[in-house]
Structure formats: C-alpha cells, structure tokens
Amino acid sequence: MPGRELAPCAARPERSRGRRRREAPPRGRSEYQRDRDRIIHSTAFRRLEYKTQVFVNHEGDLFRTRLTHSLEVAQIARSVARSLRLDEDLTEAVALAHDLGHTPFGHTGQDSLNACMRPYGGFEHNLQSLRVVDLLEQRYAAFDGLNLTFESREGVLKHCSLKNARTLGDVGERFVKKQRPSLEAQVANLADEIAYNNHDVDDGVRSGLLDMAQLAEVAIFARHMKAVLRQFPRLAARRLRHETVRRMIDTLVSDLIRTSADNIRRHAPASIEEVRLAPPLIAFSARIREESDELKRFLRENLYRHYRVVRMSGKARRIVADLFAALLTDNRLLPPEFQERAGEDAPRAIADYIAGMTDRYAILEHRRLFAIEET
Ligand code: MG
C-alpha cells in the first residue's frame, strides 16, 4: 500500500529505548509486535474475560467484560494509528495491556482495594498494570514479567501519582517532568474513552438501566439518533440503538483523526523525543471534547450510580475488604507463591493476589474463607 511509511513522529521499533533485560532481537516481527504477542499470551490477559467492566460478569452473557472492552479499544486505536501513520503494533500492545491490572468488580473493586491498602502505600490500577507486565506474570525462564519495551511500559502506565512515579525510574520520569508519552500511547488512551462511552450506552440500554428517552437529552446521542430516524423512520428499537452508537463511534474517531492530524501538522514533531516535549497532540476538537464529556457525565450519574449497580457495588466492596482483612490476619491462607512474597511485604502480596482475581474467583474465594458449610 502506498504511503504506509511511518510518520516522523511515530515510535520506531528499531529505535526503541529497549527492554529492562536485554534480549536478542525478534525474528520475523518487530519489537512492538513481540510485546503485543506476549501480552496476548499472558495469564492476566485471559483473566480479563471474567472481570467486570460495569456489569458483574455473571449478570449476563452479552455485556462487555474487560476482555471485549480491551479488544474494542485495540480496534479503535489501530484505526486511528493507521490513519495517522503511527506504529499500529505499539498502539495495539498498549490498548490490549491497558487494563491488565484491574481488580475484580471494576471501579468498586479498585476503590475498595485502594482503601484497604491506604496504610500500606495505596493501590493504583495503572501502576498495577505495570506490575503485571514487569513482575507478576511468570512465564519466561530468564525474567519475571513480560520484559516489554520501554514504549509499551510507558503506555501502560497511563496515570501515576507523583509519589509513585519517583520510585519507578525511567518510566516514571515523564510524570515528574510533565512530559507526554508516545503518540501511540495517547491514541490508545483516547480510544479507551471512545470505547467505554459507547459500549456503556449500548450495555446500559440493553440491561434496562438506561432508556433511549433519557439518552435523547445527551447532545451527541440525540443528534445521531435524529439523523438515523430521519433516514429510517420505522427502525426497530434495537437497531436504532446500534445504528446510533455506530455513528457516534464514527464521529468520534473521525474527529479524533482530523484534529490530531492538524495538531501534528502544526507542531510537526520530528521525532518521538519532540512528541514527549510537545503538548498532547492526540485530541478531540473543542466541540466533540465537550460532547464526549457530557456523555461521560450522563453515564456517571445515570448508569454507574444507578441503584442496581450501586447495590452490586456494595457486595463487591465487602468481598474485597473481607478477603483483604482475612488474608492479612493470617498469611497462611495465601497460595504458596504469594506466601513467599508476603515475607517481604504482606499487604502488597495480598493486593497482588486480590487484584489478579476474576469476579467469580473472588466470590468463590470469599465463600471458601467465610462460609461455614462445605463449598
Ligand atoms: Mg479501559
């Protein structure tokens, strides 16, 4: 295909800042392809299938899980990266790995584990994603973790407190110096926002927690729904929802590509090093930024705080808190590989163990530790 050359501001696998442990270069694939492949083969990646996005995994078979969410993020991110002539493989690697550190039960699980860990250094899910790829995966003979390239690790660490950033060496530096990550990482970050806003609308309506009349008060949804109805006045409700969501994604992606291409043209960074010093270049236009924020606010108020979601969240919070307390009181309840690490830092080993659990594993482990009857 003509014009498929990478843009000057793209990350280049042959100029990567490298891996923490030196390895022979891959054959027949690039360094970033190797990162992507390692992520897909990891245990943490497979566990995403049974981790909650908004709905608890057993609530229905059709809702998004962290796995399908991550695949949708990767798909959107790759389209954008390709249009901007960025490295698709790095974008995909970051997108697929971005939620690897998520606890069971979505944000509730994460808030709850953070509360448990407050006296022991706290818990941040982005930092946990980095711990997964740097340390917790045990698949390779020569090293712990996946030994990813600097650029993939930097992308995975989307946010980080300054306190923690200072302890992370090279990959934490940008938070201290207020610099940007690669454009590939910036793309994955906004693809995440496009994916969850849209699939949460879809799942929200499918579950009956949201209805189309409510959504008609959100500008971006209303505008696209009206356009669909003008063209197809008698469309069945389900198709109307899908078609509206489809068009919203298209608008968001097109706007992101257009605005970012303009920004890149204007700043013309000649290398990834100049990208790090520039303002964020991957961005929505002001109007779409506003509309996306409005949709986000709507979802927060009407879906994430819906009483049925909140009720499930209460249960999830208790499960995480109970597990943490029980395991901290008696480290011998931990599986052997975590017991070993508990010798150095018991609360951190327990947090790693709990964060790695799927929703149903956490429920089962809670039953095993707390139920009186045999399970
Ligand atoms: Mg995400």
Residue 305 structure tokens: 């705080």
What pLDDT score was predicted for residue 2?
46
What's at 140, amino acid-wise?
A: Y
59: Cβ–Cβ under 8 A, 6 or more apart, which residues?
A: 207, 312
CA distance 242 to 244: 5
What pLDDT score was predicted for residue 63?
74
Could you give the C-alpha distances from 351 to 119, 122, 163, 257, 321, in angstroms and in order?
12, 9, 19, 39, 11
Asked if residue 295 lies in contact with residue 302, where contact means CB atoms within 8 angstroms, the answer is no
Q: Nearest 5 degrees, angle CA 118-CA 192-CA 301?
A: 65
Three-state SS string over the chain comes to CCCCCCCCCCCCHHHCCCECCCCCCCCCCCHHHHHHHHHHCCHHHHHHHHCECCCCHHHCCCCCEHHHHHHHHHHHHHHHHHHCCCCHHHHHHHHHHCCCCCCCCHHHHHHHHHHHHHHHCCCCHHHHHHHHHHHHCCCCCCCCCCCCEHHHHHHHCCCCCHHHHCCCHHHHHHHHHCCCCCHHHHHHHHHHHHHHHHHHHHHHHHCCCCCHHHHCCCHHHHHHHHHHHHHCCCCCHHHHHHHHHHHHHHHHHHHHHHHHHHHHHHHCCCCHHHHHHCCCCCCCCHHHHHHHHHHHHHHHHHHHCCHHHHHHHHHHHHHHHHHHHHHHHCHHHCCHHHHHHHHHHHHHHHHHHHHHCCHHHHHHHHHHHHCCCCC
Ligand 1 centroid distance, CA of 126 (Å): 10
Ligand 1 centroid distance, CA of 184 (Å): 15
Ligand 1 centroid distance, CA of 158 (Å): 10
Domain boundaries, the chain: 29-370
Asked if residue 365 lies in contact with residue 323, where contact means CB atoms within 8 angstroms, the answer is yes
Q: Would the pLDDT of 4 be above 80? A: no
CA distance 255 to 83: 12
Q: What is the pLDDT of residues 144-161, one digit of tens each?
A: 999 999 999 999 999 999
Ligand 1 centroid distance, CA of 265 (Å): 28
Distance of CA 116 to the CA centre of its chain: 22
Asked if residue 28 lies in contact with residue 34, where contact means CB atoms within 8 angstroms, the answer is no
Q: What is the pLDDT of residues 81-121, one digit of tens each?
A: 999 999 999 999 999 999 999 999 888 899 999 999 999 99
Ligand 1 centroid distance, CA of 98 (Å): 6
Q: How confident is the model at residue 180 (pLDDT cuts 50, 70, 90)?
A: very high
Ligand 1 centroid distance, CA of 279 (Å): 23
Ligand 1 centroid distance, CA of 262 (Å): 26
What pLDDT score was predicted for residue 61?
59
What pLDDT score was predicted for residue 1?
44
Asked if residue 262 lies in contact with residue 170, where contact means CB atoms within 8 angstroms, the answer is no
**What is the average pLDDT score of the chain?**
93
Ligand 1 centroid distance, CA of 220 (Å): 21
Ligand 1 centroid distance, CA of 25 (Å): 30
Ligand 1 centroid distance, CA of 95 (Å): 8
Ligand 1 centroid distance, CA of 99 (Å): 6
What pLDDT score was predicted for residue 236?
95
Listed residue (191, 179, 9) closest to 84, CA to CA: 9
First to last CA, the chain: 59
Ligand 1 centroid distance, CA of 156 (Å): 11
Q: What is the pLDDT of residues 348-367, one digit of tens each?
A: 999 999 999 999 899 999 99
Average pLDDT over residues 214-218: 96
What pLDDT score was predicted for residue 65?
87
What pLDDT score was predicted for residue 58?
58
Q: Which CATH class, in words, describes the domain spanning 29-370?
A: mainly alpha
Q: Would the pLDDT of 52 be above 80? A: no
Q: How confident is the model at residue 309 (pLDDT cuts 50, 70, 90)?
A: confident
Listed residue (175, 143, 140, 165) closest to 20, CA to CA: 143
Ligand 1 centroid distance, CA of 124 (Å): 14
Asked if residue 351 lies in contact with residue 102, where contact means CB atoms within 8 angstroms, the answer is no
Ligand 1 centroid distance, CA of 150 (Å): 20
Ligand 1 centroid distance, CA of 197 (Å): 10
Ligand 1 centroid distance, CA of 230 (Å): 33
Ligand 1 centroid distance, CA of 142 (Å): 30
CA distance 294 to 215: 11
Average pLDDT over residues 287-306: 95
